[in-house]
Amino acid sequence: MRTFLTPLFISIAFCAVIPPVLAKKAVNKPLIATIVSYECGDNCYLTVKDTQGKERVGLCAAPLCDTWNQATEMPKKFVGKKISFVIGTGQQFDASGALMGEMEAFMQIKLLK
């Protein structure tokens, strides 16, 4: 017995597979912003202003943040610098090292000219 797939079935199957792949690529797209501030408490946070004028705050988890996080301060020369960045999810810890939760984190930061 021969079975034929209708074009409707093929379209539905194709659409069900494609959107997650596209969404995954869109999440990792670098964004552009300007550094506004950096501050530390139990965790260190970077605030940037994106090209639409919206401020975004996240954990500073990119390799560029390593020395800032160790010193618990960012050199003032970085305020106002234009960057490209990739957002991910980072974990917040309290002063005793206990996991408090997750939040948006700057996973990659590249300084732009």
For 68-88, write each residue's pLDDT tens digit. 999 999 999 999 999 999 999
What CATH number did the domain enclosing 77 receive?
2.40.50
- Domain membership of residue 5 (yes or no) is no
For 19-71, write each residue's pLDDT tens digit. 333 333 335 789 999 999 999 999 999 999 999 999 999 999 999 999 999 99
Between CA 45 and CA 59 the distance in angstroms is: 5
Whole domain around residue 79: which residue ranges? 30-111
- Domain membership of residue 10 (yes or no) is no
- Domain membership of residue 7 (yes or no) is no
**This prediction's pTM:** 0.73
The count of domains in the chain is 1
Give one DSSP letter per residue of 29-73, joined into a string.
--EEEEEEEEEESSSEEEEEEETTS-EEEEEE-SGGGHHHHHHTS
- Domain membership of residue 96 (yes or no) is yes
Q: Is 77 helix (H, G, I), strand (E, B) or coil?
A: helix
